Amino acid sequence: MIAVVGSSNMDVVLTVERFTLPGETQKATKLEFFPGGKGSNQAMTVAKLSNIDSEIYFLTCIGNDSYGKILKEQYDNSNINGYKIVNDSNGLAFIEVTEKGENRIIIYSGANNYLTENLVKEHAGKLLKADYLLLQNEIPFESTLYSAKLFFEHGKTVIFDPAPVKGIKKEIFQFIDFLTPNEEEIKLLTEKFFGNFVSYEDSYNKFKKLGLKKLIVKLGEKGVLYFDENTTIEIPAFRVQAIDTTAAGDVFNGAFSVALHENFDIEFSLNFASAAAALSVTKKGAQSSIPSRSDVEKFLNINNEYK
């Protein structure tokens, strides 16, 4: 089983010609609402890409408003358990998407603030039935840190997407098996803890001293870089026409955990995750853009990567 501890949001997506400048007012060409949140995106990716009809345990807090009701129905229909309904508004993400497919995101935490360390402790028994844990940084950091330590101490695999970077403390890295930042996030993390960014490999070597085991840097259209103590792997990007890059990193993480859970090796798992993420940017929205398992396999076959 794969577990996720993280956020649930409703994404409010504004399509614009270009990013709005400071002091500028521009008209959006479209307003859309999509279920989202980094934790939710990853949980839904696992549900959609898993080769077997297995339970996904997703510890998350959703609001008692209309947005929370939509998310509850979606989780129930996807065999996702573990959510908790709280007496507050649901988390929201306001996303500005340009005609080039680039995005900028502002988050309102709402119900996500109720995902406390004590709540994780209450659900520890059910969470630990899983072999893999997916984490992000859209809930209180203390809850994320406790979850990582809990799984680490029980010999489980922890995959941490350090987004957003703000609030992350260095003690978490000793409990992480796979750190999965994008190129901006690894630079910010390196500058935060070590003063300056030199290279991706140098950053890995620095974080390794804090206990990190493996680093995956998501480089978008430039592909993926993987580092561990003995190996460096470079995965070229799949060439697609990007429409909306929202949740591509979450789709990558969810797909990567599915491949690992199914005992594929690292290189194939990276290719599988890259293919899923590439397909996701060809559609609008976060969870609405998650591809099916058959679509990912077909895409890999066409690109001579599926074994």
pLDDT in tens, 101-130: 788 888 899 999 999 999 999 999 999 999
Beta bridge partners of 56: 2, 80
- CA nearest to 296, candidates 252, 264, 249, 246: 252
Residue whose C-alpha is closest to residue 71's, from 63, 24, 17: 63
In a domain, 272, yes or no: yes
Residue 53 has pLDDT above 70, yes or no: no
User: Virtual CA dihedral for 187, 193, 196, 201, nearest 10 degrees?
Assistant: -60
Active site residue 250: yes
Q: Which tens digits make up the pLDDT trace of 206-245? A: 999 999 999 999 998 899 999 999 999 999 988 887 777 7
Catalytic residue among 228, 250, 265, 295: 250
At residue 60 the predicted structure's pLDDT band, cuts being 50, 70 and 90, is: very high
Q: Is residue 279 part of a domain?
A: yes
**Polymer length in residues for the chain:** 307
Q: Is the pLDDT of residue 51 over 90?
A: no
- Kindly state whether residue 290 falls inside one of the protein's structural domains: yes
Q: What SS3 state is found at 233?
A: strand
Alpha-carbon distance 210 to 238, whole Å? Answer: 33
How high is the mean pLDDT of the chain?
91
Average pLDDT over residues 149-164: 96
The predicted pLDDT at position 304 comes to 67
Q: Has residue 306 got a pLDDT over 60? A: no
Q: CATH number for the domain including 55?
A: 3.40.1190.20
Q: Does 14 reside within a domain?
A: yes
Q: How far from the centroid of its chain's Cα atoms is residue 148's Cα?
A: 15
Residue 132 has φ and ψ, to the nearest 5°, of -125, 140
3-state DSSP assignment of residue 160 = strand
In a domain, 7, yes or no: yes
Which amino acid is located at 28 in the chain?
A: A
- 141 has a pLDDT exceeding 90: yes
Predicted confidence (pLDDT) at residue 94 exceeds the cutoff of 70: yes
Q: What is the mean pLDDT of residues 260-287?
A: 89
pLDDT of residue 286: 65
Coil/strand/helix, residue 286:
coil
142 pLDDT higher than 60: yes
From CA 289, how far away is CA 245, in angstroms rounded? 9
Virtual torsion, Cα 45, 48, 49, 51, nearest 10 deg: 140
Residue 267 lies in a domain: yes
Q: Hey, what amino acid is at 157?
A: T
In the structure encoding, which two tokens stand for residue 304, read together?
A: 């001579």
Specify the pLDDT at position 6: 96
Q: What is the spatial distance between Cα 299 and Cα 64, in angstroms, rounded to a whole number?
A: 39
**CA–CA separation, 111 vs 114, rounded Å?**
6
Within-domain flag for 307: no
231, exposed or middle or buried, with CB in 10 Å at 0-12, 13-18, 19+? exposed
Residue 105, helix vs strand vs coil: strand
- pTM to 2 decimal places: 0.89
Residue 29 one-letter amino acid: T
Domain count, the chain: 1
Q: Is residue 220 part of a domain?
A: yes
* Range list of H helices, the chain: 38-49, 66-77, 117-122, 124-127, 141-153, 183-194, 200-208, 248-261, 266-280, 293-302
- Which residues fall within 8 angstroms of residue 306, CB to CB, at 6 or more apart? 297, 300
Q: Which domain holds residue 64?
A: 2-18+27-302
